[in-house]
């Protein structure tokens, strides 16, 4: 799907040589005056310098510009990293004539290395010169690291007889088990939305999208997700009602598309796996089981080999830490095939049925716990040789 322009948003992308020459690695996003913002950030205690600065700036002013670099995370860089993140904002602000607090910094890449600030600053004039309303696709390329393809999504809807657009871009392929966001995601709309409503919409959307995916169980130091509302369409989003539901649904769909794109582009991934847990006492314990399955190297490698080794899945359910789990109530399905029933192998299950399902590129693991009415769903990948190679060679 083509990325749709959002009135009041322009994006510029350039090659600044931050880590590699002749690679798009610096993006500037300009938002119209009066734009409102909502954000979610990583809960990693070693959060990156740009995350700290972005939080501070958001509390002080509404953003007019975002400056985003790849190739260097500016994380684990101590006080010097904070100075560099602040300096990148100040340099951009001086060029465009806004306050430093109206610029938000975002970085992604290698952790623990000083940000080459001089290259970032030198690249700003080219990024600003490239600003245009249809720059979403270029920007999606410009925020990639180990991603193999750019990720964007758009929705168009009508609110009170006015056309509204929601468009977003994201990056991420590894170090993915988001905790309040994904690695980097930037979403914008031309609707007018009060900040508390905007934050509520984003928080709800993130819970079922970016916070419901995992590649490897690692939460990044730089996770950031931002939702901008320019108000340029003239359509107001209320705090409740049908228009709120339609708008929230569009944001949720954009986030879901981007989150699924991250899983489909997971480092070395060959399978897209949905883990659906049903019959739990509450959603939290269902997620606990789902993540235990999704983070098991034995489960993930079995999926890579297309091996219906269902005992690994059952073992993961058993060690997920649920109190008083009655195993004779547990059932396990791979797609339409019932493998486990009443806590043991289903009487009519055959290895051939399991192999047919496991050969598919997209598979659903469905576990029935038989202890309540709650459910949860996450998306994950298999674990391949290429995942090990990519991460073993990441800094070389």
Residues serving a catalytic function are 182
Name residue, tokens 């989003």: 237
Alpha-carbon distances, residue 376 vs 285, 300, 326 (angstroms): 9, 19, 19
Alpha-helical (H) ranges within the chain are 49-60, 78-96, 117-129, 136-142, 195-207, 242-264, 283-294, 297-304, 310-318, 351-358, 385-392
Residues 303, 108, 210, 296: what is their CA dihedral angle, to the nearest 10 degrees? 30
How many helices and strands in the chain, by DSSP H and E? Answer: 11, 16
Residue 244 sits at φ, ψ, to 5 deg, of -60, -45
Alpha-carbon distances, residue 132 vs 30, 33, 165 (angstroms): 9, 16, 16
CA-nearest of 32, 89, 97 to 64 is 32
> Encoding tokens for residue 31?
């938002």
- Contact criterion met (CB below 8 Å) for 353 and 311: no
CA distance 79 to 85: 10
Beta-ladder partners of 363: 273
Q: What is the DSSP string of 191-214?
A: SB--HHHHHHHHHHHHHTTGGGEE
Alpha-carbon distances, residue 363 vs 339, 369, 382 (angstroms): 14, 19, 11
């Amino acid at each position: 799907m083509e990325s749709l322009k959002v009135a009041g948003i322009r994006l510029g992308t350039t090659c600044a040589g931050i880590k590699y020459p002749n690679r798009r690695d610096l993006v500037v996003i300009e938002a119209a005056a009066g734009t409102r913002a909502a954000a979610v950030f990583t809960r990693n205690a070693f959060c990156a310098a740009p995350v700290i600065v972005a939080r501070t700036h958001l509390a002080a002013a509404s953003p007019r510009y975002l400056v985003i670099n790849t190739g260097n995370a500016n994380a684990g860089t101590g006080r010097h990293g904070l100075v560099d993140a602040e300096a990148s904002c100040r340099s951009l602000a001086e060029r465009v004539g806004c306050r430093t607090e109206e610029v938000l910094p975002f970085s992604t890449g290698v952790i623990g290395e000083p940000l080459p600030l001089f290259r970032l600053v030198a690249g700003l004039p080219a990024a600003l010169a490239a600003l245009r309303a249809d720059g979403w696709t270029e920007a999606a390329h410009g925020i990639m690291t180990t991603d193999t393809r750019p990720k964007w999504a758009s929705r168009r809807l009508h609110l009170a007889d006015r056309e509204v657009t929601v468009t977003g871009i994201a990056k991420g392929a590894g170090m993915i088990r988001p905790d309040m966001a994904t690695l980097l995601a930037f979403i914008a709309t031309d609707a007018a939305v009060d900040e508390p409503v905007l934050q509520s919409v984003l928080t709800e959307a993130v819970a079922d999208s970016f916070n419901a995916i995992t590649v490897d169980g690692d939460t990044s130091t730089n996770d950031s997700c931002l939702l901008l509302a320019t108000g340029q369409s003239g359509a107001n989003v209320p705090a409740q009602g049908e228009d709120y539901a339609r708008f929230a649904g569009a944001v949720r769909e954009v986030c879901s598309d981007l989150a699924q794109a991250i899983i489909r582009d997971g480092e070395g991934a060959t399978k897209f796996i949905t883990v659906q847990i049903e019959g739990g006492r509450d959603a939290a314990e269902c997620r606990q089981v789902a993540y235990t399955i999704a983070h098991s190297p034995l489960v993930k490698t079995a999926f890579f080999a297309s091996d219906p080794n269902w005992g690994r899945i059952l073992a993961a359910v058993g060690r997920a830490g649920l109190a008083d789990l009655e195993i004779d109530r547990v059932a396990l399905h791979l797609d339409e095939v019932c493998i486990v029933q009443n806590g043991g192998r289903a009487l009519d299950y055959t290895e051939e049925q399991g192999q047919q399902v496991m050969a598919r590129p997209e598979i659903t693991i469905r576990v029935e716990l038989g202890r309540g009415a709650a459910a949860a769903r996450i998306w994950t990948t298999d674990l391949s040789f290429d995942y090990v190679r990519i991460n073993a060679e990441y800094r070389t």
